[in-house]
Amino acid sequence: MKCVWVLFFHWSLSGAEWFKIEKGPDTVVTALGSGIVLPCSLTPTMSAVDMEVKWSRQALGKKLVHHYMNKEDKNEDQDRSYRGRTALFKEELQYGNTSLLLKDVTVSDPGQYTCEVQGKGAYDKITVKVIVEAKGTPPEISVVGTDDVSGGIQLLCESKGWNPEPQLQWLNNEGAELPAEPIESHRDNGGFNVGLRVTAYRRATDKVTCRMTWRNHVINTPMDITGIGTNPNITEESTDSPGTRLLCETKGWKSKPELEWLSGQRTKLTDNVAESQEVNGLYTVKHRVTAHGSGTYSCSVKQYPMMEARKYISDSSQPKDTGNT
């Protein structure tokens, strides 16, 4: 017992301070663009003013998130992405609070962070996981093409501004998943932007749904494809009049669409009235214009889903056909 007392007495005289870092939440969640506090504090309560505090992130290698030593910040080795975005609570160091404030959180900030505190003869560390959430736009469906022969409709479902990355899938009217192309995904400062393409066939289903899953949330965007017509198609017609006669035609619409012609300067052309015909409850619409001069002329369906075709005319006497888009 006497030896134990002598050892304790020697430890006290040496000025060493025993501490542990208090166990806080393993994970902290924040919204994109906001600030977040990564908790780290000493127990028992004691001053950390004269201690060394290091915040690091495994993904950065030897670069630091924040470094405090000798009563001041030492951020020469700080990763550039954190410059001006980190701070300790200096007025709280005397109470053992070595938590880190991370400001203006970005989509690159999620991950495991380590807080290390070195005192005189004592050391401890903990890790904290940071999750950054960003809620983006609901998924939207657009028609990117149609196949008159097979009856296929090429659809694109898009959603923007999410973190973490959401998952997309296409379902038929019975809830079965449709085979689709690989998910298109890219990340910018606003989060993940995702898209998923599929070809749906009217003979197999009358309704499709784009389903997005993000964490525990599910968002469905349905679409009735029975009344979606074909892409507008532009053809040239012979004429004795000056200029190039162009015909725009689209078929198979449940509600009669309006067609609009625009010149290369995006000027509306209205020299003729559109013709429409209804067969078995589906509309075919034709609209003719005369193109004067070279340039790109476009014909678009003015209703949801919007579609557009373009044709380049080299001059009024010798048109050049580059096809529809």
pLDDT of residue 246: 93
Q: Outline where the chain has alpha helix (H).
A: 2-13
Domain membership of residue 189 (yes or no) is yes
* CATH label of the domain that carries residue 249: 2.60.40.10
- Mean per-residue pLDDT, 55-73: 92
Domain membership of residue 273 (yes or no) is yes
Full-model pTM: 0.66
Is the Cβ–Cβ distance between 185 and 162 less than 8 Å?
no
322 has a pLDDT exceeding 60: no
pLDDT band at 202 (very low <50, low <70, confident <90, very high): confident
What's phi and psi for 207, nearest 5 deg? -145, 140
* Domain match, 26 and 100 both: yes
The residue from 74, 99, 133 where one domain ends is 133
- Mean per-residue pLDDT, 200-229: 90
pLDDT of residue 1: 41
| Percentage of residues in the chain having pLDDT higher than 90 | 62
pLDDT of residue 135: 92
pLDDT in tens, 134-173: 999 999 998 887 776 777 889 999 999 999 999 999 999 9
Number of independent structural domains in the chain: 3
Report residue 302 as tokens: 């003015």
* Domain match, 59 and 86 both: yes
Q: Report the C-alpha dihedral over residues 22, 25, 26, 30, rounded to 10 degrees.
A: -130
* Domain match, 24 and 121 both: yes
Structural domain that includes position 188: 140-224
